[in-house]
Structure 1
Amino acid sequence: MKKILVTGANGQLGSELKVLSSRYSQFDWVFANRITVTLDNLVLLKEQLNEIDPDIILNCGAYTAVDKAEAEKEQAFMVNHLAVELIARYSEENKAKLIHISTDYVFDGSSSIALNEEAETNPINIYGESKRAGEIACMKENLNSIIIRTSWVYSKFGNNFVKTMQRLMQERELINVVNDQIGSPTYAADLAQAMIEIIESPNWIPGIYNYSNEGEISWFEFALAIKEFGGYNCNIKGIPSASYLTPAKRPKFSLLDKSKIKLIYGLGIPNYKKSLKKMFA
């Protein structure tokens, strides 16, 4: 029986994998939180990996506090770069398969067409820089690894845009949402399912892949869809990013082209509205 280690088990993606795992009892699942797999202590991390001895690693653990990363650069790079480097090296040395999760924030947002895996990276914040450093290290240490870039992740678990909107729409009569950042949301349950399908596939084709739900929208349009499915009465006003300043800059355009993952793994990717409706259900 193959043993699958899921890091970041209490995060959105890890939690969705946990839900799905009961359907895949042919695997021995190990769900590791930040104590059982310590991504900010490399000495401990190496010992923990040796002890768990996985056949497959799904690295969903990350430092994801985008604004906080501006002040905590060392911590962000420790988890998103150095720990990834160690995990990739471990998986290469021990012939374990590795799927590592990355982000659309490796791009600067200057594109006007959907970004494929070959598009030039140029992160504009510390979080993006740390994730890009992790990608480079992962590919260098383990040529056989798979990296999945995703965007705007949400789930019924953890903290995310959908849950924040749900709360605000019940508390306030009016909310402002940026309308000039374009991309596509990702329902973590869909991404979790895609990862399992890749593991189960007879083909293991290493490299970088993009995954998000279908649709090209702004955060404002996403908020309108949340309002629709939640039946909220709150008014939503679209505002430019310049009116909502954050410590970390965000890419203006980070829509991901999913052609490669659909072609190679035959994945059916749902439209964002279909998946959002599923989460509300």
Structure 2
Amino acid sequence: MVYLKTDEEIELIKISAQVLGKAHAEVAKLINPGVTTKELDRVAEEFIRDHKGHPSFKGYNDFPAALCISVNEVVVHGFPSPYRLKEGDIISVDCGVFLNGYHSDSAFTYPVGEIKPEVKQLLKRTYDSLYLGIDKAVAGNRIGDIGYAVQSHVEQFGYGVVRELVGHGVGKFLHEGPEVPNFGRRGQGPQLKEGMTIAIEPMITLGKRSVVQEKDGWTIRTTDRQPAAHFEHTVAVRKGKAEILTTFEYIEQVLAERSMAIA
């Protein structure tokens, strides 16, 4: 189902998104070689609960954690674990917050120390593709316009666009309609209407676009084991210009202090 939101409901999502953005920043402070991904999850969950929120992912279809943590060739839905981050890794941190009856959802991919130049470019270009997709999330456009904007940007560099996983509506439910693929044709698909709130989330691979699901039933990785990047915002469809409800502001403050800027 697609649920159109009132301005009051959109404000409630933004309040949830502020807690989410600050939880991401607490995680960003800790991303260093040697830290375990389980520790990142503990810190995020503690912060969210301290601010009267609930981690949206924990318990969702029995998912065991507050964060989806996906390292290197894992695209999405990786489990936090005792794995210790290493110099040269990249790590996608995907998180949701449920607060005041509404979910917010965002993801950011971080370098761990110095990473290969080609992987750094992958992160930057995936980040850029997110905002190109958001530019098309305006009333009167179609879902295919968003996907085309993402796809046409990243495929010019030879990257793969994951097809099996897509963005989605967000609101009272973590996953609502419509689906928001990262590929598509301009002018195709459902029409975007003011009041839709959607998660746009490019999942882009350095190599081939094909993926496989691991035996745990959650973890999705590239079949060629090349790294993948993932960035996500929750946005409201508006007339003329989309409204970004989640925020990277707090993340990017931390990264700037640590000289780790993506863009």
TM over 0.5: no
> Which has more helix, going by share of residues?
1
- TM-score of the two chains, using structure 2 as the length reference: 0.31
TM-score (norm 1): 0.30
Higher strand fraction: Structure 1 or Structure 2?
A: 2
Please tell me whether Structure 1 or Structure 2 has the larger radius of gyration of its CA atoms: 1
